[in-house]
Structure 1
């Protein structure tokens, strides 16, 4: 099910150019479409944290499947750019509910190795990102840009039914039974929540703007659209081993230093992007950048979910997810708007890299001063 959930968030990256050709939408509109998917993923996270104090994780996951089915069906049936924005937002809603509920459930099912199991879950998620360009390319051979979404809608309905059947036969842990106070959890865990929000939020805002316009950017430096989709697939492909390896490293390494190394590596990638030219250098860049950014997700999830106590886990993680996604979501619309204003991609990436340098210096200074929390409050 996580395959379809993540596919709903990344499928618009390879669809941007086909949608542009079919609708004549501008960069700003297409950037807004990609952004609204991530805004949709951000909006329900805090409400989901509250919802999980009242219903089970499995019930919330079932609800996310229903929303995904409805949202994808709606999007697949429309050609109006405005209604596409509504459909993309609805698809994002499903992912926000699912991620909070499912990641919390996984960490409770496997309390002795949360990083390892979250990494495996992430691998399944990342396979969707890897397959998205190929799935879109295949769909374009048999139909138009809507064909991909139509197939996704059918698959989402089927997987929701399958999950429901399996959930009814599974005995879930009672670890979250004491997690009944969302506000209390946030007050108690605000330091680790804020650290996660700032670190992952700004880093993934840059990532969001990069991957959604990666094919478009590559076109401006002479790379064909088909080759650009291959390079995008490389970016997502290296995320598969990244989730697998990083999840295990997160169980073994000190959480904060490990995250800081990832931030530093990603900052370097963004700073060198404007000077990378040639197919094989771009392949190498795509592989390294994809590995680095996807390593951050199991690292951050393990940092929080692996140390949050049972009575705060879902609520605090939902607050983190909501805050992080609010910062991340505007990445694509920022890039699209700057492009419509005539700013070159090279300048945009230089500005983003400079912002990440500021973030890294701030985090290093706070860590050296002992002000970044190593774990959650007991």
Structure 2
């Protein structure tokens, strides 16, 4: 793929480095909405329900283009799709910064999500192309850069809102900076990509249907591993602060601290899981992560005081964030290069909607009269049953082991 000379190694490093910057910005754009909901409400005079919709729209936008991006990958090289996603993010952020109305801001929010969805589907197989022998390590580093954004976004927003040098509303300034950073990073990525062999002749993913027919067992296994666990996690972290206040009696400050610990624990988790995915067999690793996730969830229900909650939060955050790079590596390292883009798009496009409804599922169950503890326990037991089923199928040889054996 790349020759061993310094120029080729430098070009590959440049491409990967620019991807890590882009993924930081892409994920920052998705998570920055939560701490900005109150400034949005004050700026446009809308209800809490209306601004709450923004946080949902960005994730809907992220899920929507997964299958269409898979189709684009059958027509255009991966690096061009990644460039397009960066330009979409830059343009959407500029529209958000200048939004004259809440409706315009909502439309820009969907576009921000679309840019992120396109990015992840195109960039993940591109990383596999860059580092075919170290997919897990590369995916882990890339995921670490993404997770750092989730950790720093609330603090950055707090500082930006406190600083008074903006010639316009501070939240608009944040989107101006995001737009400029996304544009600059996209340009740097393009320049780096043109110096590398990824812009040379390459086989495109010719047909999503062919990829699905050829690798449906692998794709379905990946969806089974990460789908239900991701649904549970989506519901848990969206209600984490409320849950800790209502069920554990923590103060709002302590509850927010615990949520910060959950996300901070994900930073080393991405790197560690990526390294392990390169060295251990995929299926046992993923099932072990699922088992520890179930144990962590049940421990969260059992503990009561602040310090135990913090300890469980750290373990829970580390474990669930380990699952994502492990599963991505399982899919990407196991798919042949000619199917990696479209095959990953099918996996991602089917997995994301399942995860996205987690908060709705939890909210509906709680509104029906069930306690958070009862809901989290039931969902955790569901993951336990699924894990046991996958373990049995793996013993029978019905779960594809992938190439890391």
TM-score (norm 1): 0.89
How far does the alpha carbon of each residue in 1:269-311 deviate from its partner, in whole angstroms, 9 at most, with x for none? 2222233322221221221111101111111111111121122
Q: 2:260 and 2:311 mapped to 1: Cα distance? A: 13
Q: Deviation string for 1:121-178 (max 9, x for gaps)?
A: 1111111112122223323323666654444333223322332333333331769515
Question: Does the Cα contact within 8 Å between 2:136 and 2:329 map onto a contact in 1?
Answer: yes
Q: Distance in 2 between matches of 1:219 and 1:24?
A: 23
Between the aligned partners of 1:187 and 1:309, the Cα distance in structure 2 is 13
Structure 1 match to 2:73: 52
Match among 292, 295, 316 for residue 322 of structure 2 = 295
Q: Distance in 2 between matches of 1:61 and 1:305?
A: 17
* Residues 264 and 208 of structure 1, relative CA distance in 2, 3 Å threshold: same
Give distance in 2, aligned partners of 1:144 and 1:233: 23
Counterpart Cα distance in 2 of 1:146 and 1:227: 30
How far apart in 1 are the matches of 2:238 and 2:40?
13
Aligned to 1:352: 379
Q: Which residue does 2:335 correspond to in 1?
A: 308
Partner residue of 1:122 out of 132, 135, 143:
143
Alignment-derived partner of residue 90 in structure 2? 69
Distance (Å, rounded) in 2 between the aligned partners of 1:204 and 1:344: 20
Task: Sort the Cα spacing of 1:139 and 1:223 in 2 relative to 1 into closer, same or farther, 3 A.
Answer: farther
Tell me the SS of whatever aligns to 2:59. helix
Given that residues 108 and 173 in structure 1 are in contact (C-alpha distance below 8 angstroms), is that contact kept between their aligned partners in structure 2?
no
Instruction: State how 1:69-88 maps to structure 2 within 5 Å.
Output: 69-77=90-98, 85-88=106-109
Q: Name the residue aligned to 1:157.
A: 183
* C-alpha separation in 2, matches of 1:174 and 1:19: 45
How much does 1:77 deviate? 4.8
Aligned counterparts of 1:311 and 1:288: Cα–Cα separation in 2: 37
Decide whether the 8 Å contact of 1:133 with 1:233 is kept in 2. no
What secondary structure sits across from 1:160 in the alignment? Answer: helix
Select 1:138's aligned residue among 133, 136, 159.
159
Deviation at 1:48, TM superposition (A): 1.2
Summarize the Cα distance change of 1:343–1:7 in structure 2 as closer, same or farther, 3 Å threshold.
farther
Which residue of 2 is the match for residue 109 of structure 1?
A: 130
Count of paired positions: 374
Query: In structure 2, do the counterparts of structure 1 residues 299 and 357 end up closer, same or farther at CA, with 3 Å as the change threshold?
Result: same
CA contact (8 A) 2:62 2:115 kept: yes
Does the CA contact (< 8 Å) of 1:13 and 1:213 recur in 2?
Answer: no
Match of 1:197 among 223, 234, 249: 223
Question: Does the C-alpha gap of structure 1 residues 353 and 302 become closer, same or farther in structure 2, counting only changes over 3 Å?
Answer: same
Moved more, 110-119 or 142-151: 142-151
1:215/1:225 contact within 8 Å kept: yes
How far the C-alpha of 1:186 sits from its partner, in A, is 1.0
Q: Which has the larger radius of gyration?
A: 2
Tell me: CA distance 1:204–1:46, structure 2 relative to 1, closer, same or farther (3 Å). same
Among candidates 209, 213, 219, match of residue 235 of structure 2: 209
Counterpart CA distance in 1 for 2:145 and 2:62 is 18
SS at match of 2:198: coil
Conservation of the 8 A alpha-carbon contact between 2:301 and 2:376: yes
RMSD: 2.7
Q: Of 334, 343, 348, which aligns to 1:321? A: 348
Contact kept, 8 Å, 2:245 with 2:251, in 1: the verdict is yes
Deviation at 1:80, TM superposition (A): 6.6
SS in 1 for 2:314: helix
Q: Relative contact order: is structure 1 or structure 2 higher (C-alpha 8 Å, sep ≥ 6)? A: 1
The match for 2:48 among 16, 22, 25 is 25
Partner residue in 2 for 1:180: 206
Q: What does 1:242-261 correspond to in 2, within 5 Å?
A: 242-261=269-288
Go from structure 1 to structure 2 and tell me whether the alpha carbon gap of 1:275 and 1:85 turns closer, same or farther (over 3 Å shift). Answer: farther
Q: Report the more deviating stretch, 249-258 or 37-46.
A: 37-46
CA offsets per residue over residues 84-133 of structure 1, 9 Å max, x none? 55443322211111111111111111111111111111111111112122
